[in-house]
Amino acid sequence: MRELTGKVVVVTGAASGIGREMALAFARRGARLAVADIDADGLERVRGELESLGTTVYAQVVDVSIAADVDDLCSNVYREMGRVDILCNNAGVAVGGWMEDMSLDDWKWVLAPNLWGVIYGCHYFYPRMIEQGGGGHIVNTASGAGLLPLPATISYNTSKFAVVGFSETLRAEAALHGIGVSAVCPGFVATNVVRNARVVSGTQRSSPEELKQRFMRFFERRNYTPDRVAAAVVKGVERNTGVIVVGPETRLGDISMRLSRGLIDIVMRYANRLMRKYV
Amino acid sequence: MEWKVACMDLNGKVVAVTGAANGIGREMAMAFARHGASLALADIDEGGLLAVKRELEERGVAVYARVVDVSRAADMESFCDNVFSEMGRVDVLCNNAGVAVGGNFEDMTLDDLWWLVGVNLWGVIHGCHFFYPRMIAQGGGHIVNTASAAGLIPFPSLALYSSTKHGVVGLSETLRAEAALHGIGVTVICPGVIATDIVQRSRIVSGSKRSTPGDMAVTMDRILKTRGYGPERVAAAAVRAVERNRGVVRVAPEAYALDWLHRLNRRAFCAMMILGARVAQAVF
């Protein structure tokens, strides 16, 4: 999609982090925005920011893991804005820890927005995007952990691998309707995902709470800001890129994974051992 | 070194298999039995399960069988408890049960989506969640998850199936990195086009200009049977993978070829798949 002026863009998880930056980036390119998030206060702030850019905005508090909520969002957006050109299924959470410490509730909590948010978003919006004609684009936020099996975030990886697989497949189907689909795979981006994460395991040196602090410090020191992801997304939509790999660490991971999964396996085992001992 | 997993001799080991009533699961049970293992079998299909149990018992294999819906946590938990109390331990767990929904994503209902994620993804999560900590406690073992070639590459008309299988691959590779420390190996099997009855147990939701969904199901089934790559060859690959502690195991040649092309260039691969989808629409 070359021209973004006047297009209608829906972004979930838009109250902070990558979602907020995507909304702002599309707004700066002249798009109209429909923003959704579970966090009402954050959503109000983003609505204010968007309106101060002179953008037409529709905002709704939505839990993307509830089918009825997404259904409602979809019909409201179509009523208010008339059509949807770009859908960004972006809302997500994370749990850190080892498989044996993760409860089924932790698994449900991660899969709910990360996988079901994407599925429901596509289930309700995609048929109407086909019906309205004139193409469109769907952007699903995955992660570098959707390409690379990093230890200590097994439920998160599972959800993100699933999102990459889903997006690539839907891409092949949607092309017949002139609709593009992209999965975005950012690396270590400093957002609320780490701050809101559940950490269920400790290591030899750290309690779960300390481990979370260490992760947060690591992300802050990495200092890869979400606006750079948003810029990559806008470019990816313009060029219709299937998997948008953002940041050098993700690029390296993706290439090495494609070269040799066996090599990555050895590296990840080693990383897991080091993490349990020294982090 | 503590993060390496020793190779496994299967004689006298206990192997649990879900989805064991037919197809790949049944052949896995047979293959592990031939290597001298005792079997714990689970399936949602009681008739098929009992037939496999009888067949194994006639060969003198110790078998425990139970009707289980892998998508239900309580079912899987009680299966795990019972297997450990009946057989004492579990050396190999094969999370194999799986279903498919074929068709355009826009034709799938919420119920199709829940069913698919429930069996394919939650089935594996439940299996690992209940068995893995007890494998750690007993000091080792091996987990085999059945994914699909569609877990490595995107395959149109199987959008959410591909998605769940990608999830299983990610789960397995991550667990493999974590589990090595406990002396537990993890394998994920990506078979390819295998001649099983999966189409009969699946839902086909879309037709084409010429065919109804029912006709499509018949065509798909015919393609699997004509391709004729038997599930016993997948089972043999699974046994080898456990013995040698392999990670990602592609089985049929098409699984290798498609994976290789996808790794080489995603854009070209997707263009190929779009072309494939167009051709399929015209032909079927």
Tens of pLDDT, residue by residue over A88-146, are: 999 999 999 999 999 999 999 999 999 999 999 999 999 999 999 989 999 999 999 99
Task: Give whole-number Cα distances, B258 to A243, B24, B251, B272, in Å.
Answer: 17, 21, 12, 11
Residue type present at position A215: F
Strand pairing partners for B17? B41, B94
Quote the distance between the C-alpha of residue B244 and its chain's center: 19
Please count the other Cβ atoms lying within 10 Å of the Cβ belonging to residue B20: 32
Q: Number of Cβ pairs closer than 8 Å across A and B?
A: 168
- Per-residue pLDDT tens for A59-79? 999 999 999 999 999 999 999
Residues 244-263 of B with CB under 8 A from A: 247-248, 263
Which stretches within A144-260 are classed as H helix?
154-174, 192-195, 208-222, 226-239, 248-259
Q: What pLDDT was estimated at residue B6?
A: 62
Q: What pLDDT was estimated at residue B4?
A: 55
Q: Which 8-state DSSP code applies to residue A114? A: I
Q: Are A58 and A76 in contact (CB under 8 A)?
A: yes
pLDDT band at B281 (very low <50, low <70, confident <90, very high): confident
Compute the nearest-CA separation of B23 from chain A (Å). 24
Q: In order of start, what are the domains of chain B with their CATH numbers?
A: 14-283 (3.40.50.720)
Higher per-residue pLDDT: A190 or A265? A265
Q: Which of A278, A183, A177 has its CA nearest to residue A229? A: A183
Residues of A annotated as catalytic (active site), given as ranges: 156
Q: Which of A50, A86, A81 has its CA nearest to residue A238? A: A86
Compute the nearest-CA separation of B108 from chain A (Å). 8
Distance CA B125, CA A166 (A): 18
Q: Are B156 and A157 a contacting pair at CB < 8 A?
A: no
Is B104 in the A-facing interface, judged by CB distances under 8 Å? Answer: yes
CATH C-level class of A8-278: alpha beta
Q: What is the dihedral sign for C-alpha B36, B40, B42, B48? A: positive
Task: Judge whether residue B66 has pLDDT over 90.
Answer: yes
Averaged confidence pLDDT in chain B? 95
pTM of the predicted structure, to 2 decimals: 0.97
Distance CA A197, CA B94 (A): 31
- Per-residue pLDDT tens for B2-18? 445 666 889 999 999 99
Angle subtended at Cα B144 by Cα B138 and Cα B148, rounded to the nearest 5 degrees: 165
Task: Judge whether residue A190 has pLDDT over 90.
Answer: no
Q: Tell me how long chain A is.
A: 279
User: Mean pLDDT lowest for which of A81-90, A164-173, B30-39, B210-219?
Assistant: B210-219
Q: What pLDDT was estimated at residue B70?
A: 98
pLDDT band at A269 (very low <50, low <70, confident <90, very high): very high
Please count the other Cβ atoms lying within 10 Å of the Cβ belonging to residue B124: 29
Q: What is the CA radius of gyration of chain B?
A: 19
Side-chain-side CA neighbours of A101 within 13 Å: the count stands at: 15
Is B147 in the A-facing interface, judged by CB distances under 8 Å? Answer: no
ipTM: 0.96
User: Mean pLDDT lowest for which of A37-41, A195-199, B54-58, B248-252?
Assistant: A195-199
- Per-residue pLDDT tens for B72-101? 999 999 999 999 999 999 999 999 999 999
Q: Active site residue: B132, B161, B229, B256, which one? A: B161
Q: What pLDDT was estimated at residue B13?
A: 96
Report chain A residues whose CB lies below 8 A from the CB of B132.
Answer: 99-100
